[in-house]
Each structure stands twice: as structure tokens, then as C-alpha cells.
Amino acid sequence: MDAPIIDCSLLPSSDPKELEKIRSALSTWGCFQLVNHGIASEMLDEVRDMSKLFFKLPLEEKVKYSSKGDSIEGYGNGNAIRDGNFNWNDKLHLQVYPQHRQQLQFWPETPLNFRATLHEYSNKIKQISELLLKAMARSLELEENRFFELWGDDKEDIIHARFNFYPRFPSANRVVGLKPHTDGSAITILLQDKEVEGLQVLKDGQWFRVPIIPDALVIHVADQLEIASNGIFTSPTHKVVINPQCDRISLAMLPLPYPDKEIGPLKELISEERPQLFKRLKDYGQVYFNYMTSEERQINVVKINH
């Protein structure tokens, strides 16, 4: 993948070249790599190390944090079971914001730094999310709060964290780490493994490898931003392939709108040439999970056919 690279330090000053790069990247690839985001390299290493340590714990330790009932939170490999088709992946899913909704019974106590480090990392991701959503709006010549205000206000904005672990597998081409999907959030801020590649993005019918750039965060448009942008930004289909020799980890941070907030294409982005592409709705997350097993993109369920 000829990865577009965005310099985060240039975003607050609305550098026109950087904004144009964002617009162009998000309307073609639907993703870019973010550098100079202000999270120290040591912190990124700490986050990677603690997730490796967690997944390396004995199973009886990890299952203390297992998902229960219909909850998406917790440890497990729920997706694997849903459609009888394996995702070669273990995950730990935690809601990190708003803080009063954290379900700490799912938050590992081993390794010892896990909870504190995740708090600190989430706080930084929250600031970066705000900066990105504002820059994304400016890149379309919108008032800068137009995407940000869909996501939430200071007390109620939601961020989920999804830790992924992909065990090595000798016949790697016989399994897939994560099947092709789009994300159901507003955007996704992904920390990749430092050494082991695996993420691939679909563009024009072809799969492209997303290279590892040390310390960069991979930023994806997710479905709810594709909807809000009236399809100008694209929520990319992506998948993860398994490495035969090496385990791989990643951490996806997923900011998403509050379920009772109505989202839909912004009126400034609807015109005669670009009619409204999606319905307005609340709780897209529910639609997303209801159609999880479908081969089609979930977003098609809320598409308006002209």
C-alpha cells in the first residue's frame, strides 16, 4: 500500500496541504498513517507489551475476564463461533469511555500496569480523536465541529478498545486472522504490532498490505463517518492475515456516537449532484451487530437507493 502519511502536528494549524492529503486519503483508501501524534514511543511499547503479556497468561486466568451473555465486552473469540467460520483471533474488548460506564470486572489486573496504562493511553487517544474529527471536517470545508459533535460531548463520548491477538499458525494460508470487514465506529485508531505485519486493505478489488511504520497509528474511516460524510469518505474493507512463525497483536481504539444520537449525512454534503446516500438513524451499532454474519457490508442496510 502506498500509504498516505499525515503529520499530526500540522493539523491544529490547518495546514492546507495536510488537509488536502486527508481528504484525498479518506476518499480513496479510507485510511492513512498518522505520525507526530505526541504519544511517546515508550508508551506505545508499554501498551504492546502489556497486551502480549495478557494474552500469554494461562487460559484459566484469561477466562476470568470472559464475555458474558450478549455483552461484547470481555475476553474471548466470539466472532469465531457466530458463523462457524474461523477468525484465528483472540480478543479483549473493553469500553474505556465514558469512564462511569467502564466495567472493571473485564479489565485485567495482570499485568499489574494494565489498567493504569490503558487509562493513560485512552486519554491520549481521546485527544487525538477530537483533533482528527475536526481536521477531517475542515478538509471538507465544513465547520470544524460538524463530525466531532456527532461523536459526543465531553462527558458522554464513547470509546471502545479492542485488543487483538493472532497466534502464529504453520499453515497460515488456511486460516484468516480477521475476516474482511468494515468497522462500525466513527473512526478507528489502530496501533499495529511493531514487527509483524498482517493488516490488509481492499481498494479497487485488490488487497494491499498496510506497512509497519514505527510509532505510527493507522487511522481508518469507519461506517458512521462514511454515513455522516454522505459517502465522500469511505469506510475501508480490511482483513488480517496470519503469520506462520510469529504471533501478532494490535489494539483498535473505536470512538463512536452515543446510541441515542441520531446520525445521518450532513446537510452541507447533500446536493443535487450528491443526493443523500444513507438514511438517518440512531444506534447504528445495533444494525452493525445484527448483520455481522452477512457477506455484504453492513452499511448497505441503511443505504438509500436512488
Ligand X SMILES: O=C(O)CCC(=O)C(=O)O
Binding mask 147-166 for ligand X (x = CB under 6 A): ---------------x-x--
DSSP helix/strand/coil, 23: helix
Which listed residue (199, 201, 216, 253) binds ligand X by CB under 6 A?
A: 199
Copy the grid coordinates of residue 138. Answer: 475542515
Cβ 250 to ligand X, closest distance in Å?
Answer: 3
Residues 140 and 151: their CA atoms lie apart, in Å, by 17
The C-alpha cell of 235 is what?
A: 469506510
Whether the CB-CB separation of 97 and 157 falls below 8 Å is answered with yes
Q: Of the two residues 222 and 277, which places its CB atom closer to ligand X in the complex?
A: 222
HSE-CB for 196 with a 13 A CA cutoff: 21
240 binds, among ligand X, Fe ion, none (CB under 5 to 8 A by kind): ligand X
With contacts defined by CB under 5 A, how many residues of the chain interact with Fe ion?
1
- The partner in contact with residue 199, picked from ligand X, Fe ion, none with C-beta cut-offs of 5 to 8 angstroms by kind, is ligand X
| Residue partners of 39: CB distance under 8 A and separation at least 6 | 121, 124, 128, 215, 217
Task: Report if residue 252 touches ligand X, rule: CB under 6 A.
Answer: yes
Q: Is 238 in the site for ligand X (CB under 6 A)?
A: yes
Closest CA to 252 of 157, 182, 169, 155: 182
The answer to whether residues 3 and 33 touch, using CB atoms and an 8 Å cutoff, is yes
The three cell numbers of residue 246 are 510469529
The DSSP letter of residue 56 is H
221 binds ligand X (CB under 6 A): no
CA distance 11 to 17: 10
- Which range of residues in 37-45, 125-133, 147-155, 192-200 is near ligand X by CB under 6 A? 192-200
Q: How many residues bind ligand X (CB under 6 A)?
A: 12
Give yes or no for residue 48 binding ligand X (CB under 6 A). Answer: no
Q: Does 190 help bind ligand X (rule: CB under 6 A)? A: yes
178 near ligand X (CB under 6 A): yes
Nearer to ligand X, 51 or 139 (CB): 51
* Cell (9 digits) for 159: 470509546
Among 90, 157, 183, 226, which residue interacts with Fe ion (rule: CB under 5 A)? 183
| Residues at the contact surface with Fe ion, assessed by CB under 5 A | 183
Which residues of the shown chain bind ligand X in the complex (CB under 6 A)? Answer: 162, 164, 178, 183, 190, 192, 198-199, 238, 240, 250, 252
